[in-house]
Chains A and B, each alone.
Chain A
């Protein structure tokens, strides 16, 4: 008979024995050694029936297909752009995936996306050698103008978004800022400078306390202390859905 050596929702470290015997199955982030199951990362353990799953608490972002990320232009090539994805690998956006608009061969690509621009993009493909392809065709995928971009741990992104976006819409409504959270841990905030600072502080707080229950109430309390109304109706523009993507040429034109 298998024996569970740990409890649901506890923090485990690499090499820690989670279960003995063949009754339990190693899931994500765990592995089998002999008849034991051991942890392969620092994380929170989830016991789902017979399967043991480990939710990592830290780590670098690994590009995944269909992730919507915020990326920065680091190079402009002959028929596309190279982006920094806040991971170990850069990503390529080719002209044909950037827009349905006609772009003549040899035209100056910096008028669309210039070096240093932040863009909301979607990952279309990741190869085994981690060559990443992007697209900006789709709703809400476009260049980010104004505001500020902050970096957080990519594993904290689900907590920042919350269940069905509850956490991020709470912050949006309270501060009146526009917020876009990229799966790669980059967050774009645009609003009144004072409100932006409150958002940054709130996100830092979520990041530092992401493993604690009742986080939404904690954030609510924090926002109220800062003088924001958390139950006020949504301010104009705050919860506005990303509009249908329109390709806008750079100011240089």
Chain B
């Protein structure tokens, strides 16, 4: 049996509908929301600000601290237990490592930039949505960065390489599934996050990665427009 048509009718190299907005949290120094299909992430950035406890301070550069959290009601009907879990700690860590290569915090020794990512609604691809939202929020906060970070999941369902898996595809029963979250720095094509759940052949992985690279421009455009929109509107009510 083969996977000839995607469950929600998309093309194999098509993402779910994307929308993004910046400046959604007024009290934060920078903020953004990113929606892909039924997955919505909010990110708020505070800082650079002073960092305590003191042993975390780094005298040569500022540090980045990320916190990923799924809201209790965000899952598919089951309540997500609040507080840090093994999973959310891991995602916080990989998010930080995905964002760090574009940031330049050399001008802020001993300081910290805090990024809080909250998932309001999840339908697979939440760490990717979180990274997209966080990179926009960092740019909105005026942090020096050489590029935005674009994240999307690619993978394999049965015998087909697909882009941006949703939950139904991740849970596909009639064949092997691989889910590969990917974060890319658009200007250079460098990959700053690469994880995998499932199994793929070498050829399929190469194909999946090149599909991911192709979709990056589209996502970067959405992020770029969301950032520009904030400052180009005629009169802003604060």
A11 touches B228 (CB 8 A): yes
Chain A contacts for B102, CB-based, 8 A: 14-15
Q: Interface readout for A40-83 with B: 1 if CB under 8 Å, 0 if not?
A: 11100000000000001111101000000000000000000000
User: CB distance A42 to B147 under 8 Å?
Assistant: no
Any chain B CB within 8 A of the CB of A115?
Answer: no
User: Does A207 lie at the interface of the complex (its beta carbon under 8 Å from any beta carbon of B)?
Assistant: yes
* A89-B104 contact in complex given A14-B139, A57-B142, C-beta closer than 8 Å: no
Which residues of chain A are near B238, meaning CB under 8 Å? 204-205, 207-208
Scan B209-236; emit 1 where CB is below 8 A from any A CB, else 0: 0000000000010011001100110111
With beta carbons under 8 angstroms apart, the residue of A13, A90, A209, A212 that contacts B148 is A13
Candidates A15, A38, A89, A212; contact of B111 at CB < 8 Å: A89
For A88, the closest partner residue in chain B by CB is B111
The CA of A139 and the CA of B220, in the complex, are separated in Å by: 50
Q: Does A33 lie at the interface of the complex (its beta carbon under 8 Å from any beta carbon of B)?
A: yes
Contacts of A209 in B (CB 8 A): 235-236
CA of A59 to CA of B145 in the docked complex: distance in angstroms? 12
Interface residues on chain B, number (Cβ under 8 Å):
42
- Quick check: A11 and B231 within 8 Å, CB to CB? yes
Q: In the complex, are the beta carbons of B228 and A13 less than 8 A apart?
A: yes
Measured between alpha carbons, how far is A89 from B49 in the docked complex, in Å? 7
**Number of residue pairs spanning A and B whose beta carbons lie under 8 angstroms apart:** 103
Whether A15 lies near B48 (C-beta < 8 A) is no
Q: Is the CB of A16 within 8 A of B224?
A: yes
A88 to B108, CA, bound (A): 8
**With A and B bound together, what is the CA distance between A204 and B236 in angstroms?**
10
CA distance A142 to B103 in the complex (A): 38
Q: Is the pair A14, B29 in contact by a Cβ cutoff of 8 Å?
A: no
Interface string of B183-221 (1 = CB under 8 A from A): 001111000000000000000000000000000000010
For the complex, what is the distance from the CA of A42 to the CA of B29, rounded to whole Å? 13
Chain B interface residues (CB < 8 Å from chain A): 29-30, 47-50, 59, 62, 102, 104, 107-112, 139-148, 185-188, 220, 223-224, 227-228, 231-232, 234-238
- A-B contact list, 14 entries, CB within 8 Å: A15-B187, A29-B144, A33-B187, A40-B144, A40-B145, A40-B146, A41-B144, A57-B231, A58-B30, A60-B47, A60-B141, A88-B62, A208-B236, A209-B235
